[in-house]
Amino acid sequence: MPNIRHIRPCLWFDNQAEEAANHYVAIFKNSRITQIARYNEVGFETHRRPAGSIMTVAFELDGHKFMALNGGPIFKFNEAVSLEIECDTQEEIDYFWEELSAGGDPKAQVCGWLKDKYGLSWQVVPSQMNEYFVDHTSPQSKRAMAAMLQMKKLNIAELERAVKG
């Protein structure tokens, strides 16, 4: 089996790749734009983008590599794919929730999930989240699930209280 260097998500935008990459880089520490590639005249009949316009923006969010593509209005984000942020503190949850939900769809906020202003789904969750649900038959797991289902933005203290009963 061959070794791979990394797996990098490619996010398809209509024409907001650079704007979105700059937005995300501003939210996450230790983040940066690493490369911008532009369309040329070859393939215009397929991509319909003017030569010199931005094709892709490579960027890193706290060391994690991403690619943003200006691919046109053909495809839209949906909840089938989301990006999960594990947070150690309520302050981290509050920060990422506030920053990423700004301008997004408030109707898409449920159980720690949100949609940002570009339609990309994010999960902003406590780092211990999976521990709550390891034993799906336990009373603790059931209480955690019941509490979580009542929340939009997750509250670590309330989840912990539910787990402890």
Q: Can you tell me the distance from the alpha carbon of 3 to that of 51, in angstroms, rounded to the nearest whole number?
A: 35
Overall pTM surpassing 0.85 (yes/no): yes
> Average pLDDT, whole number, for the chain?
96
Nearest of 77, 79, 98, 95 to residue 87 by alpha carbon: 95
pLDDT, mean of residues 10-33: 98
96-113 residue pLDDT tens:
999 999 999 999 999 999
Q: Can you tell me the distance from the alpha carbon of 154 to that of 54, in angstroms, rounded to the nearest whole number?
A: 37
Q: Given 1.10.8.60, 3.90.1150.10, 3.30.720.100, 1.25.40.10, which CATH number is that of 10-70?
A: 3.30.720.100
- Please tell me the predicted confidence (pLDDT) of residue 47: 84
46-92 residue pLDDT tens:
888 999 999 999 999 999 999 999 999 999 999 999 999 999 999 99
Ranges for all domains in the chain classified under CATH 3.10.180.10: 82-164
CATH architecture for segment(s) 82-164: Roll (3.10)
Burial 82-116 (b: 16+ CB within 10 A, else e): bbebebeeeebbeebbebbbeebeeebbeebbbbb
